[in-house]
Amino acid sequence: MSHSALSTSAVWSRWLTVGTVLATGGHLFGVPALSSSLALVIVGLGLIAGVPHGAVDHLMATRLARGRSLTAVVAAYAGVAAVAWVLLRWAGPAALVAVVTLSAVHFGLGELEVSRRLTGWRPGRLTAAATVVAGSGALALPLARSGEQFSAVAAAVSPGLARLLAAAPLPVGITVAWLACAAVAITAALRDGHGVVALDIALIGALGFLAPPLVAFAVWFGGWHALRHSARLLTVEPGCAALLADGHRRAAVHRLARLAALPSLAVLTAIGALAWFTLASPEPTEAVAEALRVLLALTVPHMVVVLWLDRSSDVEREPLPIGGSGYRAVRRS
C-alpha cells in the first residue's frame, strides 16, 4: 500500500509535468507564450502547494531529539530559519548561492530516494551522484536559463545574484554539467532495466529546458517534489502508516493534511506579512522574490532535519514518525 501511494503520486507528478511542458513550451513552435501575469499566478500556486510537505518537520525533529520538548524543537527550528532569512536578506549573494546549492543537493537526494523506493534501484556511488545532480534539474536548469522574469526576481532577492547569473560561464557550466550527469544516470538506469527512472530524469530536463524558468521550478516544487515527499511521509508517520496498512489511503492523507495544516498556515501567513511590510511597491516579481526568500530560509532547517533523520535511520530499524529522503528504516516495497 505504501508503494502504491508513492506510485500514484509519481504518476500524477509526471502528468502535471507533461501538461506544463505542453502548455508553456508551445512558444517554441509558434504557440503564444504565457502572459507574465498568468505565469506569476502559476508560480504563486506552485510555491504555496509546496509549503505543506515540510510542515511536519517539527514532529520529526521532536522524535529524533529524544528528551527535548516540542516547544524547544520548534523554537530551534524557527531560530535557524530566522537566521537564514536574515542572511539571505542582508548578506549578499554568497548566502543565497550557498542555500540554493544546498537546496539543489537536497532536491537531488530526494529524487534518488524516490527512484530507490519505486524500483529498488541502488546504483553505485558515481551513478548515484550523477542521479542527484540530474534530479536537481528543475532548479539548476531554470537558474542556467535565467529568463527575463527569473532575472527580475533574482535581482529582487539579491542584485548580486542577477549579475552572477548574467555571466556566461556559469549558465553554460551548469547546463553542461547537468547534461553530462543526466546522460550518465539515464544510461545506467536503462542498462539496469529501470526505464521509469530514465523517464523521470528526461521529464525533469524537459521541464527545466522548455517551461519559463520560474514556472518550471514552481510547478516542479509544488507538483513533483512536494507531492512525492508527502507520499513518502504517509509511510512513516505511525497513524498514517497504520491507516495505509488497513487500506484507508484517503483517511491517511486526511490525517497528514491535518498535521500539516497549522504549520502551513503559519508559513503562508509569514510570507504574506513579510510581503505586506517589506515590499516598497506592489510589483508581483518582488512579492514572488519575498516568498522565495522565506521558502529558502525554511529550507535550511528542513534540510538539517532530513539529514539528521537519514543519519539516524542508518542505525535504527524501527520506523520513525514523519520522514524525508533516504529513510532506510522504512521497509522498501
User: Nine-digit cell at 103?
Assistant: 537546496
Q: Encode burial over 308-325: b for 16+ CB neighbours within 10 A, e otherwise.
A: ebbebbeeeeebbbbbbb
Q: Binding site: which residues? A: 53, 106, 225, 229
Q: Encode burial over 29-45: b for 16+ CB neighbours within 10 A, e otherwise.
A: eeeeebeeeebbebbbe
CA distance 197 to 13: 13
Dihedral angle sign, alpha carbons of residues 9, 10, 11, 13: positive
Q: What is the pLDDT of residues 226-278, one digit of tens each?
A: 999 888 888 777 788 888 888 888 899 999 999 999 888 888 887 777 666 55
> In this model, does residue 299 exceed pLDDT 80?
yes
Q: What is the pLDDT of residues 28-51, one digit of tens each?
A: 666 666 777 788 788 888 888 888
Mean pLDDT along residues 104-123: 90
Q: Binding site for Fe cation: which residues? A: 53, 106, 225, 229
320 vs 132 pLDDT, higher one: 132
Residue 332 binned pLDDT confidence (cut-offs 50, 70, 90): very low
Q: Which pLDDT belongs to residue 329? A: 37
Mean pLDDT along residues 164-186: 86
Residue 70 binned pLDDT confidence (cut-offs 50, 70, 90): confident
Q: Which pLDDT belongs to residue 179? A: 97
Q: Which pLDDT belongs to residue 213? A: 86
Mean pLDDT computed over every residue of the chain: 81
Share of residues in the chain with pLDDT > 90 (%) = 29
Mean pLDDT along residues 324-330: 38
276 vs 192 pLDDT, higher one: 192
How many CB atoms sit inside 10 A of residue 102's CB?
16
Residue 91 binned pLDDT confidence (cut-offs 50, 70, 90): confident
Give 320's contacts (C-beta < 8 A, 6+ positions apart): 60, 63, 64, 236, 309, 312, 313, 327, 329
Answer yes or no: pTM beyond 0.85.
Answer: no
CA distance 22 to 211: 9
